[in-house]
Structure 1
Amino acid sequence: MNCALIFAGGTGQRMNTKTRPKQFLELHGKPIIIYTIEVFENHPDIDAIVVVCLEDWIPFLRKKLVHHDIAKVVDVVPGGATGQESIRHGIDALLLNGDENATVLVHDGVRPLLRSETITECIQSVEERGSAITVTPAIETIVQESDGMVTNVIERQACRMAKAPQCFRLRELAEAHRQAEADGLFDFIDSASMMRYYGHNLYTVEGSPENIKITTPSDFYIFRAFVDARENSQIFGL
C-alpha cells in the first residue's frame, strides 16, 4: 500500500495575501492544493491520501474535493502548532485508515508541479532501500559564514537541495515521531531531519527543477507559467 500525506497547514505569510492562505489561492478556478492532490490522485500506485489542513479551512477543502472529483482522500485532519505536530496528525490518520507497513510520501501542499515519474521512483526507492528524499542539484555556490565572513565554500557538485516528497515506511516514521515526542524534541524542520537524527539511512531520488514550493508571489507567477505552458502544449500539440 502506498499513501500520500499532504501537508497544507501553513498560513503563507510570505505570500502577502490577506484573503486566504497560499495553498487556497486559485489559478484558473482551482486552488493550488487541488493541483497538488491531483498529482497523487491520478497516480496508479497511490492508494490513499490524507491531507493536513488549517482547521478553519477544512469545510472549504472538503467542498473542493467533491467539486473536483477527488476520490482517494480518506481523511482531512487539522494541523498542529508546528509542522512536526501537523505531520504527526497526518500519520495518526493514515494508521487508522491503512497499513502500518505502507509506504508514505510526505509532500508539501504547495508543491503542485511534482511529476508522476518522481512518485514512481520514490516508491521504488522505499521498497528497495527504505527511504526516498527528493532532491535537485544545487545550481548556485553554497557558502558557510560566521559574523558576516565566509568560512567555507562547499563544492557545488556535492550539494543537493532537499525537496518533497520525503518518503518512508509508515511504521518507521510513526516510531520516529513517538520517540521525538518522548525525547521532548519538537522542532525538526522536516521528516528527513528527524529520520536521520534517529539513525535511518536517507537515499536520494533526483526530481525535476520545476518542483518548486510556492511561497512568494514570484513563485505563483512561475507556477502559472508552467500550467499555461502545459495547457498550450495540449491545445497546439507543442
Structure 2
Amino acid sequence: MNYALIFAGGTGQRMNTKTRPKQFLELHGKPIILYTIEAFENHPDIDGIVVVCLEDWIPFLRKKLEHYDIGKVIDIVPGGATGQESIRNGLMALEKAVGPDHCVMVHDGVRPLVSPETISECALSVARFGSAVSVTPAIETIVQENNGTVTSIIDREACRMAKAPQCFNLGELLDAHRRAEEEGSAGFIDSASLMSHYGHALHTVATGPENIKITTPSDFYIFRAFLDARENSQIFGL
C-alpha cells in the first residue's frame, strides 16, 4: 500500500510574511497545504496521509480538512526542532498506524502542483526498485567554486534537480532515521541524501517543471499562474 507523508513544518521566513506560515497562505481562498493534500487525497493509489505540522496550527488544519471533506488523513503530528526530526515524527506515527511494510512518499507541503502521473510513477518505482526520487533536468550550467573562483563546470546533461515526492519502504526509511539519531547525524537536507548515506540505491522518476516548491514570493506567483492556466484549460477546453 502507498502512503503520503506531507511535511508542513516550516515557518516560511523567505516568504517575507509575518501573518502566517507559507503553507497556510491562501490562493483563491484555499491554503497552499490543502492543494498539496488534495493531490494525494484524490489519487487512487494513495491509501492514507500523515501530515507533519507546526503544533500551533494543527487545530486550524483540522478545521480545513473537515471543510474540504478530506478523508485520507490518518493523523496530524507536530514537527520537531529540525526538518529531519519532523519527518521522523511523521514516519513513527505512520508506522504505528499501518505498520512498516508499505511505500511512503515524503512530500513538501508547499509543493502543491505534483501531478497524478508523478505519484503513479513513484508508486511503480518503489514497487519495482524500492525507491523513487522525483527529478527534473538541470536547465542551466552548474559550476563548482572555491573562494569566488570556478573550479569546475559540470556537464548538465548528467545532472538532475532532486524534487519531491521522495519515496521508499517505510520501515527502511525509518530505520535510516533511527540510525542517524543514534549516531548523532543531523543536517540531512532530504530523505534522498539520508538514504544514500546509508547505502540505499536511489532510482529516479521524472517529474514536470510545474512541480515547484513555494519558498519565495515569486514562487507563489508562479503557482498562481500554473493554477489559473489549469483552470482556464478546463473552462475553455484548451
TM-score range, shorter chain: over 0.9
DSSP-derived class of the 1:202 partner: coil
Aligned position for 1:45: 45
Q: Distance in 2 between matches of 1:225 and 1:99?
A: 40
The alignment's C-alpha RMSD in Å is 0.5
Letter in 2 for 1:187: G
Query: Deviation at 1:99?
Result: 2.7
Q: Which moved more, 1:91-100 or 1:73-82?
A: 91-100
DSSP-derived class of the 2:230 partner: helix
Aligned position for 1:4: 4
Q: Distance in 2 between matches of 1:223 and 1:190?
A: 22
Aligned position for 1:117: 117
DSSP-derived class of the 1:187 partner: coil
Q: Distance in 1 between matches of 2:209 and 2:25?
A: 22
DSSP-derived class of the 1:23 partner: helix
Q: Distance in 2 between matches of 1:136 and 1:99?
A: 32
Aligned position for 1:106: 106
Q: Distance in 2 between matches of 1:202 and 1:172?
A: 13
DSSP-derived class of the 2:111 partner: coil
**Percent identity of equivalent pairs:** 75
Letter in 2 for 1:82: T
Query: Deviation at 1:230?
Result: 1.0
* Post-superposition CA distance 1:206-231 (Å, at most 9, x none): 10011000000100000001111111
* Post-superposition CA distance 1:37-60 (Å, at most 9, x none): 000000001001000000000000
Query: Deviation at 1:233?
Result: 1.1
Q: Distance in 1 between matches of 2:96 and 2:203?
A: 28
* Post-superposition CA distance 1:146-169 (Å, at most 9, x none): 010000000010000000000000
Q: Distance in 1 between matches of 2:59 and 2:146?
A: 47
Aligned position for 1:25: 25
TM-score, structure 2 length as denominator?
0.99
DSSP-derived class of the 2:84 partner: helix
Structure 1 residue runs without a partner (length 5+): none
Aligned position for 2:91: 91
Q: Distance in 2 between matches of 1:69 and 1:187?
A: 36
TM-score, structure 1 length as denominator?
0.99
Please say if 1:70 is aligned against 2:70.
yes
Letter in 1 for 2:90: G
Letter in 2 for 1:134: S
DSSP-derived class of the 1:200 partner: coil
DSSP-derived class of the 2:139 partner: coil
Aligned position for 2:228: 228
Aligned position for 1:16: 16
Query: Deviation at 1:97?
Result: 1.1
Q: Distance in 1 between matches of 2:111 and 2:183?
A: 31
Structure 2 residue runs without a partner (length 5+): none
Q: Distance in 2 between matches of 1:221 and 1:156?
A: 27
DSSP-derived class of the 1:144 partner: strand
